[in-house]
């Protein structure tokens, strides 16, 4: 491996302090070199290490809740690697797993310092004995030294300590374990595969050095702090950005960068680094904090995957250098009178754009844009489609996407044509294919015309678009970044997300989390000028009152449009017809509220009422004839008289009110009666009474 020396060579160079003398004397003496990844993951679990799968290209977690899903359960581990057999092995660090890791990096472009050699110097400097602990050789020849976590000495993720190319991985971090293989076929191995899993206690001198190095400002950092202090006296009424401000600004900037679309990521990365550079110059952030946060964001948005870590690292460093050269960010003191309660987005304080009302004079008023002519789904906004389970939300949403992709009608109304994205975590690809085939058949669409329909099937996979940190901040995932890039690349007109419960890992009853998640989706809608259709299951109260509410009111308040899809029910709450549906506009900020679209399920898709096709007409007639014969047979068998003429015993009227009518109307029963009479399947007979009352009897009871 690049930069890796064989143990014998290192021992020869530094016999008394060599990293290779970090041998492990464990009760587990069976060699585990080059085990299949899944077997190595299970081996870690057997030795008490919780593990989770990691993307071999991006080093990011593949689980729903990241490293919080790490487990020692063999069944869960096998299931994870069954889904992602090429995944690397991740181990959470810190108190959660009981270990922290000292990461010694090898030289790389832009940083020629060798962390392994620097650590050997530290051993000599502190006259320290060789450290015997579990050690892993990274894919690029670095070393990962595992130590027992001590609550008295909490360790977090600190990078490039004292400029020695030495990092730590502790609380809130994870490490790639031995046995993992990168996408470039580079392997993480054990330093000594015959003595494993014995974790040493870190010596006091190491904790002392880490603490001093962590708090020790570099010459550059001291210069920033001095400059910031000088600025305290000038100009009046301002002061440099504070650490609290810097933290919030960095969180906001990283979140926006994580959602940057393809084609804009380089400029976005550079501008983010420049912006954060002015805060570093104020002494409110350290360079390592900024580099770490922006690098994570570039993992999420795919920038590193496409352009490589070295290119992205150079962009971040260039931006920071330029931002620092501009001097410290100064803010009005009024913004900091009560910094504890000032939770406003710090970055937005610097980027607010003020507009004068008179600027609109003489300008054309931009029209409101909707995806559909019914004005139910606004463009540049999120629409929530709610409905009970099995009502057909997914089918209706897929119909919408197909109509957009083929520039055809949706429920008999025009929609904007263009690319459509259908993200499904509810139905597998086979079911989606079956539905598409039926929709195309019913709507006379050639499947070859679906070139603008782009499907992302996620059943059985990690479908999360956002997770929630412990402090309640909603964070976009790598998948969200991929979705944002695809939307921008296609200039999609519609994005369907099915379903909220599958793509959001937070608490649906938390108003703040709901608002943050919808804001992420708004970013996609605004940047690409598209409509986002988010499917959701309503709560019990939302179903009972017909509002379709789901969880906190934050969902309904934050989306710009909300439509509710439900079955048609009678007075007793029973379905009048299992095929009938209504789509009701419960909230549209930019159009008339209360719009109701009546439709029916027909031939595996939904058709707006009032729209008759030859197929529909024939199917309804056949159904009415069948139900008429069934009811007539029952009435005759029970000596209940019905007649062909309007009155108290008029057959179509009585049948339409019957619980077994299957939704067939009086008018439809009337037409069925005429057809059946004309066909000779039923007949009119005298009932033998003086009043000559009539009733209908079937000619043949077995005839349909």
Residue 371 within a domain: no
Residue 636 within a domain: yes
Domain end marker among 215, 250, 268: 215
Residue 372 within a domain: no
Instruction: Note the pLDDT tens digit of each residue in 36-50.
Output: 899 999 999 998 899
Pick the closest to residue 488 from 304, 270, 264 (CA basis).
264
The answer to whether 163 and 71 have CB atoms below 8 angstroms apart is no
Pick the closest to residue 649 from 693, 619, 616 (CA basis).
693
Instruction: Note the pLDDT tens digit of each residue in 265-278.
Output: 888 899 999 999 98
CA distance 165 to 347: 30
Beta carbons within 8 Å of 189's beta carbon, 6+ residues apart: 33, 136, 137, 178, 179
In order, the DSSP letters of 488-508 are HHHT-SEEEEE-HHHHB-S-T
Whether 263 and 277 share a structural domain: yes
Residue 640, pLDDT above cutoff 60: yes
Whether 190 and 288 share a structural domain: no
The answer to whether 380 and 590 have CB atoms below 8 angstroms apart is no
Residue 373 within a domain: no
Tokens 């949403």, located at residue: 397
The answer to whether 146 and 152 have CB atoms below 8 angstroms apart is no
pLDDT of residue 523: 86
Domain end marker among 555, 581, 608: 608
- pTM equals 0.45
Whether 276 and 303 share a structural domain: yes
Residue 704 within a domain: no
Residue 220, pLDDT above cutoff 60: no
Whether 517 and 631 share a structural domain: no
CA distance 330 to 172: 31
Higher pLDDT, 584 or 550: 584
Pick the closest to residue 561 from 381, 398, 396 (CA basis).
381
Residue 350, pLDDT above cutoff 70: no
Quick one: average pLDDT of 477-497?
91
pLDDT of residue 697: 57
Retrieve residue 249's tokens. 């600004």
Quick one: average pLDDT of 620-641?
85
Residue 237 within a domain: yes
Instruction: Note the pLDDT tens digit of each residue in 298-328.
Output: 877 788 877 777 788 888 988 898 888 887 8
The answer to whether 507 and 489 have CB atoms below 8 angstroms apart is no
Backbone φ and ψ of 61, nearest 5°: -60, 150
Whether 410 and 449 share a structural domain: yes
Whether 310 and 453 share a structural domain: no
Q: What is the tally of structural domains in the chain?
A: 4
Retrieve residue 217's tokens. 């400002």
Residue 356 within a domain: no
SS3 content of the chain, % helix, strand, coil (to 5): 40, 20, 40
Quick one: average pLDDT of 327-342?
57
Instruction: Note the pLDDT tens digit of each residue in 20-34.
Output: 333 333 333 344 456
Retrieve residue 136's tokens. 């892993």
Pick the closest to residue 386 from 514, 543, 521, 516 (CA basis).
543
Pick the closest to residue 579 from 652, 657, 664 (CA basis).
664
SS3 643: strand
Whether 387 and 496 share a structural domain: yes
In order, the DSSP letters of 112-163 are ---HHHHHHHHHHHTTPPPP---EEE-TTS-EEEEEE--TTS------SGGG
Whether 661 and 534 share a structural domain: no
* % residues pLDDT > 70 (the chain): 79
SS3 232: coil
Domain containing 566 — which CATH number? 3.40.50.300
Residue 359 within a domain: no
Q: If pLDDT is split at 50, 70 and 90, which confidence band does 344 have?
A: very low
Q: What is the mean pLDDT of the chain?
A: 79
Residue 468, pLDDT above cutoff 60: yes
Q: If pLDDT is split at 50, 70 and 90, which confidence band does 16 have?
A: very low
pLDDT of residue 15: 29
CA distance 74 to 93: 20
Beta carbons within 8 Å of 539's beta carbon, 6+ residues apart: 549, 550, 551
Backbone φ and ψ of 179, nearest 5°: 95, -15
Beta strands in 326-447 (DSSP E): 330-332, 381-387, 409-410, 413-414, 420-424
Whether 347 and 390 share a structural domain: no
Higher pLDDT, 5 or 585: 585
Q: If pLDDT is split at 50, 70 and 90, which confidence band does 51 have?
A: very high
CA distance 481 to 557: 25
Lowest mean pLDDT segment, chosen from 42-46, 604-608, 693-697: 693-697
Lowest mean pLDDT segment, chosen from 14-28, 99-113, 511-525: 14-28
Q: If pLDDT is split at 50, 70 and 90, which confidence band does 348 have?
A: very low
pLDDT of residue 408: 94
Whether 340 and 275 share a structural domain: yes
Whether 401 and 272 share a structural domain: no
pLDDT of residue 351: 46
Quick one: average pLDDT of 185-202?
83
State the virtual CA torsion across 292, 294, 299, 302 in degrees, nearest 10.
-160
Domain end marker among 590, 608, 626: 608
Whether 209 and 225 share a structural domain: no
CB-based burial label for 113 (10 Å; 0-12, 13-18, 19+):
middle
Retrieve residue 325's tokens. 């050269």
Domain that holds residue 44: 7-215
């Amino acid at each position: 491996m690049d930069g890796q020396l064989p143990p014998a060579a290192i021992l020869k160079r530094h016999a008394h302090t060599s990293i290779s003398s970090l041998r492990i004397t464990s009760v587990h003496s069976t060699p585990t070199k080059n085990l299949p990844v899944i077997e190595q993951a299970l081996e870690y679990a057997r030795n008490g290490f919780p593990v989770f799968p990691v993307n071999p290209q991006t080093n990011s977690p593949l689980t729903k809740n990241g490293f919080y899903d790490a487990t020692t359960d063999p069944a869960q581990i096998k299931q994870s690697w069954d889904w992602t057999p090429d995944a690397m092995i991740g181990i959470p660090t810190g108190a959660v797993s009981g270990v922290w890791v000292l990461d010694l990096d090898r030289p790389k472009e832009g940083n020629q310092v060798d962390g392994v050699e620097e650590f050997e110097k530290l051993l000599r400097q502190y006259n320290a004995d060789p450290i015997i602990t579990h050690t892993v050789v990274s894919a690029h020849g670095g070393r990962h030294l595992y130590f027992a976590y001590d609550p008295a000495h909490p360790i977090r993720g600190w990078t490039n300590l004292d400029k020695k190319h030495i990092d730590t991985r502790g609380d809130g971090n994870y490490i790639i374990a031995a046995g993992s293989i990168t996408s470039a076929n580079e392997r993480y191995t054990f330093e000594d595969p015959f003595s494993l899993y014995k974790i040493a206690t870190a010596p006091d001198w190491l904790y002392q050095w880490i603490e001093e190095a962590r708090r020790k400002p570099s010459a550059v950092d001291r210069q920033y702090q001095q400059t910031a202090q000088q600025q305290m006296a000038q100009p009046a009424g301002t002061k440099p950005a504070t650490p609290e401000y810097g933290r919030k600004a960095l969180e906001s900037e990283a979140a926006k960068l994580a959602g940057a679309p393809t084609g804009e990521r380089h400029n976005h990365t550079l501008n983010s680094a420049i912006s954060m550079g002015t805060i570093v110059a104020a002494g409110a952030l350290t360079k390592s904090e900024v580099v770490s946060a922006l690098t994570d964001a570039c993992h999420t948005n795919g920038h590193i995957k496409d352009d490589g870590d070295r290119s992205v690292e150079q962009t971040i460093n260039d931006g920071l250098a330029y931002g620092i050269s501009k001097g410290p960010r100064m803010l009005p003191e009024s913004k900091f009178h009560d910094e504890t309660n000032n939770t406003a987005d710090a970055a937005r304080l610097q980027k607010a754009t003020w507009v004068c009302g008179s600027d609109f004079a003489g300008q054309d008023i931009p029209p409101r844009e909707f995806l559909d002519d019914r004005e139910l789904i606004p463009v540049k906004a999120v629409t929530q489609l709610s409905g009970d389970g099995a009502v057909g939300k997914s089918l209706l949403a897929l119909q919408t996407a197909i109509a957009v992709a083929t520039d055809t009608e949706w429920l008999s109304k025009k929609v904007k044509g263009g690319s459509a994205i259908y993200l499904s975590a509810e139905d597998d690809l086979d079911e989606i294919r079956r539905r598409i085939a039926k929709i195309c058949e019913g709507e006379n669409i050639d499947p070859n015309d679906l070139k603008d329909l782009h499907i992302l099937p996620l059943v059985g996979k990690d479908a999360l678009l956002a997770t929630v940190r412990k402090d309640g901040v909603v964070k976009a995932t790598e998948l969200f970044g991929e979705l944002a890039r695809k939307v921008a690349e296609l200039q999609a007109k519609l994005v369907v997300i099915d379903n909220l419960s599958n793509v959001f890992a937070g608490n649906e009853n938390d108003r703040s989390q709901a608002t943050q998640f919808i804001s992420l989706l708004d970013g996609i809608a605004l940047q690409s000028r598209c409509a986002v259709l988010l499917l959701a299951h309503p709560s019990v109260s939302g179903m009972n009152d017909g509002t379709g509410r789901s969880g906190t009111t934050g969902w309904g308040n934050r989306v710009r449009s909300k439509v509710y899809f439900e079955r048609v029910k009678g007075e007793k709450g029973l379905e009048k017809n299992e095929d009938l549906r209504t789509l009701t506009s419960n909230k549209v900020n930019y159009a008339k509220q209360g719009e109701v679209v009546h439709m029916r399920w027909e031939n595996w898709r939904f058709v707006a009422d009032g729209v008759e096709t030859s197929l529909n007409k024939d199917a309804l007639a056949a159904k009415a004839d069948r139900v008429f014969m069934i009811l007539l047979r029952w009435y005759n068998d029970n000596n209940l008289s019905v007649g062909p003429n309007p009155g108290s015993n008029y057959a179509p009227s009585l049948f339409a009110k019957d619980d077994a009518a299957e939704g067939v109307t009086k008018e439809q029963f009337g037409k069925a009666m005429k057809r059946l009479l004309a066909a000779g399947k039923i007949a009119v007979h005298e009932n033998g009474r003086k009043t000559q009352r009539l009733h209908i009897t079937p000619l043949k009871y077995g005839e349909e």
